[in-house]
Amino acid sequence: MQHYTNLVIFLEELRKSLRMLGISLILLTIAIFILSSGLIIVFQEHLREKLYFFSVAGPFLAHVKVAFFGAVYTLMPLLMFVFWKAMGKPFAVTGKKLFGFVCATCFLFYSGTLFCYFITLPYGVEFLLGFQSESMKPVISVGRFISFVTVFILAFGAIFELPVFMVFSAQVGIFSHQTFTKNRRFAVLGIAILAALLTPTPDVVNMALMGGPLYLLYEAGILVIRLLRIDEKRTALHESKESGQSEQERSEHD
């Protein structure tokens, strides 16, 4: 019942900002659309091949995809503020704690996207195009290439936020660092499966480029929970509240 109440509070708080977020995304998408040709060229540098389109609307839709991606990427701090404000409302996470979650999430998101763009993506594209031959030349759709690149970059940004959600779950009492430590083997299995699904190539090196940093982030999440003594502080606060309630009940009884 408590989880249902928290979900309702979260959705209600999120609903208050949906109109503002929608308008911001639309306006910024329109603004970035003007620069979308340059962004497509930047993405194409990882390909070093010509891009083609196979429908009349193909180039236009490719520019729209790039503009929307640019808007989401630029507005990520605002999106994260809205998300964490709604997420923290049921658990009374406000002030400096809320600001810390927003900053940490944005930092890890942008770190993940840059890691993907400069390291993982070039290797993956080079590996995939390495199968071409004299009798088999690539004819790559601009729309599908843009979708591949943008989704892959955003996915990396999202999974790099793992430590923040681990710390938050410990902060609100859902999990503890003991839980994450005891289930480390299941985490490794999940990371391996996730890396196999999200990486563009099935080779071990490319999977390791995602799985390795993700496992380090998992361990970093456990370390941060222990260094901040989140479990101990939460337990002490819970015992203090119970003690206060017991004293109040005794005074009312007397």
Q: H-type helices in 95-203, by residue range? A: 95-115, 121-129, 142-159, 162-171, 177-182, 184-198
Residues in Cβ contact with 224 at an 8 Å cutoff, skipping those fewer than 6 apart = 163, 166, 167
What is residue 245's predicted lDDT score, i.e. its pLDDT?
55
Q: From CA 65, how far away is CA 188, in angstroms rounded?
A: 34
Residue-by-residue DSSP string for 71-110:
HHHHTHHHHHHHHHHHHHGGGT--HHHHHHHHHHHHHHHH
179-200 core/surface letters (b: 16 or more CB in 10 A; e: else): ebeeeeeebeeebbebbeebbe
Query: pTM of the full predicted structure?
Result: 0.85
pLDDT in tens, 170-224: 888 888 888 898 998 999 998 888 887 777 666 677 778 788 889 999 999 999 9
What is residue 242's predicted lDDT score, i.e. its pLDDT?
56
Model confidence at 75, in pLDDT bands (50, 70, 90)?
Answer: very high
pLDDT in tens, 104-158: 999 999 999 999 888 888 887 777 777 777 788 888 888 888 988 898 899 889 9
Q: From CA 225, how far away is CA 222, in angstroms rounded?
A: 5
Q: From CA 60, how far away is CA 43, in angstroms rounded?
A: 16
CA 103 and chain centroid, separation: 13
